[in-house]
A and B are shown apart, each in its own frame.
Chain A
Amino acid sequence: MSSREKILAAVRANKPDLQPLPDVIIPVREEGLIEEYRRVAEGIGAKVYEVGGTAEVKELLAASFEPSQRIVSPLEDFADMAEGIEAGIDPHSFADVELAIVRAEIGVSENSALWVPEGNVSQRVIPFICQHLAILINRERIVPTLQQAYSLIGEINYGYGVFIAGPSKTADIEQSLVLGAHGPRSLRVFIVG
Chain B
Amino acid sequence: MVKEETQQQHKGLAEHSGLADIFNRDEQRVNWHDETLWFVRSKRDKAAHSLPEWELLRETASQIKHNVLSDLDTYLQQFEEQALINGVTVHWAADAREHNQIVHSILKKHEINRMVKSKSMLTEECHLNEYLKEHGVEVIDTDLGERIVQLAEEPPSHIVLPCIHKKKEEIGELFHTHLGTAAGESDPQVLTEAARQHLRESFLTRRLALTGVNFAVAETGEFVVCTNEGNADMGSHLADVHIASMGIEKIIPRRKDLGIFLRLLARSATGQPITTYSSHFRKPRAGQEMHIILVDNGRTVQLGREDFRNSLKCIRCGACMNTCPVYRRSGGHSYHNAIAGPIGSILAPNLDMKAYADLPFASTLCGSCSNVCPVKIDIHDQLYKWRQVLVKEGHVSPVKAMGMKVMAFTFAMPRFFAFAGKAGRVVMKYLPFVVSNKLNPWYKEREMPKPPKESFREWYKRERR
Contact present for A153 and B274 (CB under 8 Å): no
Contact present for A19 and B260 (CB under 8 Å): no
Contact present for B256 and A151 (CB under 8 Å): yes
* B-side contacts of A8, CB under 8 Å: 73, 76-77
Binary CB contact string for chain B from 147 to 171 against chain A (1 if under 8 A, 0 otherwise):
0100000000000011110011001
Contact present for A27 and B53 (CB under 8 Å): yes
Residue count of chain A within 8 Å CB distance of chain B:
74
Given A16-B309, A20-B63, verify A7-B279 contact (CB < 8 Å): no
Q: Which of B233-241, B395-403, B431-439, B442-450 contacts A (4 or more CB under 8 A)?
A: B233-241
Contact present for B92 and A168 (CB under 8 Å): no
* B-side contacts of A153, CB under 8 Å: 255
Contact present for B276 and A160 (CB under 8 Å): no
Closest to A147 in B: B259
Contact present for A110 and B273 (CB under 8 Å): yes
Given A14-B304, A27-B53, A147-B256, verify A180-B196 contact (CB < 8 Å): yes
Which of A21, A147, A168 contacts B230 (CB under 8 A)? A168
Give residues 1-38 of A contacting B (CB, 8 Å): 2-4, 6-8, 10-22, 24, 26-27
Give residues 82-128 of A contacting B (CB, 8 Å): 87-88, 91-92, 95, 108, 110-113, 118, 123-125, 128
Which of B70, B233, B274 contacts A17 (CB under 8 A)? B70
Contact present for A164 and B277 (CB under 8 Å): yes
A106 to B163, CA, bound (A): 35
Q: Any chain A CB within 8 A of the CB of B15?
A: no
Closest to B200 in A: A182
Give residues 257-289 of B contacting A (CB, 8 Å): 258-260, 262-263, 266, 270, 272-287
Contact present for B69 and A170 (CB under 8 Å): no
Given A24-B60, A160-B279, A162-B280, verify A4-B69 contact (CB < 8 Å): no
Give A169 Cβ to nearest chain B Cβ, in Å.
5
Q: Which of B2-10, B126-134, B293-301, B339-347 contacts A (4 or more CB under 8 A)?
A: B293-301
* B-side contacts of A181, CB under 8 Å: 144, 192, 196, 228-231
Give B283 Cβ to nearest chain A Cβ, in Å.
4
Which of B36, B161, B203, B263 contacts A146 (CB under 8 A)? B263
A23 to B395, CA, bound (A): 43
* B-side contacts of A169, CB under 8 Å: 228-229, 276
Q: Which of A59-67, A70-78, A171-179 contacts B (4 or more CB under 8 A)?
A: A171-179
Contact present for B94 and A173 (CB under 8 Å): no
Interface of B is mostly: helix
* B-side contacts of A189, CB under 8 Å: none
Which of B66, B248, B273, B286 contacts A44 (CB under 8 A)? B273
Q: Any chain A CB within 8 A of the CB of B143?
A: yes
**Residue in A40, A110, A112 with the greatest tally of chain B CB atoms within 10 Å:** A110
A166 to B40, CA, bound (A): 19
Q: Any chain B CB within 8 A of the CB of A165?
A: yes
Contact present for B53 and A26 (CB under 8 Å): yes
* B-side contacts of A113, CB under 8 Å: 274, 278
Residue count of chain B within 8 Å CB distance of chain A:
89
Contact present for B144 and A172 (CB under 8 Å): yes
A65 to B313, CA, bound (A): 47
Interface of A is mostly: loop
Q: Any chain A CB within 8 A of the CB of B382?
A: no
Contact present for B233 and A124 (CB under 8 Å): yes
A167 to B234, CA, bound (A): 14
Given A3-B94, A14-B304, A178-B189, verify A22-B73 contact (CB < 8 Å): no
A177 to B6, CA, bound (A): 28
Given A167-B276, A172-B144, A172-B163, verify A125-B72 contact (CB < 8 Å): no
Which of A7, A21, A111 contacts B67 (CB under 8 A)? A21
Binary CB contact string for chain B from 347 to 373 against chain A (1 if under 8 A, 0 otherwise):
000000000000000000000000000
Contact present for B56 and A24 (CB under 8 Å): yes
Q: Any chain A CB within 8 A of the CB of B71?
A: yes
* A-side contacts of B325, CB under 8 Å: none
Contact present for A7 and B228 (CB under 8 Å): no
A163 to B280, CA, bound (A): 8
Q: Any chain B CB within 8 A of the CB of A149?
A: yes
Contact present for A182 and B69 (CB under 8 Å): no
Contact present for B92 and A178 (CB under 8 Å): no
Contact present for A21 and B248 (CB under 8 Å): no
Give B195 Cβ to nearest chain A Cβ, in Å.
8
* A-side contacts of B280, CB under 8 Å: 158, 160-162
Binary CB contact string for chain B from 203 to 230 against chain A (1 if under 8 A, 0 otherwise):
1100000000000000000000000111
Q: Any chain A CB within 8 A of the CB of B423?
A: no
* B-side contacts of A158, CB under 8 Å: 280, 282
Q: Any chain B CB within 8 A of the CB of A136?
A: no
* A-side contacts of B168, CB under 8 Å: 173-174, 176
A182 to B462, CA, bound (A): 40
A57 to B86, CA, bound (A): 37
A and B contact pairs by CB, cutoff 8 A, 8 listed: A19-B70, A88-B287, A112-B273, A146-B259, A149-B259, A163-B278, A168-B229, A170-B144
> What 4 A-B pairs come out closest when comparing CB atoms?
A183-B230, A14-B304, A111-B273, A181-B229
Give the interface of B toward A (CB within 8 A).
36, 39-40, 51, 53, 56-57, 60, 63-64, 66-67, 69-73, 76-77, 86, 92-94, 98, 142-145, 148, 161-164, 167-168, 171, 188-189, 191-193, 196, 199-200, 203-204, 228-231, 233-234, 237-238, 248, 253, 255-256, 258-260, 262-263, 266, 270, 272-287, 294, 296, 300-301, 303-304, 306, 309
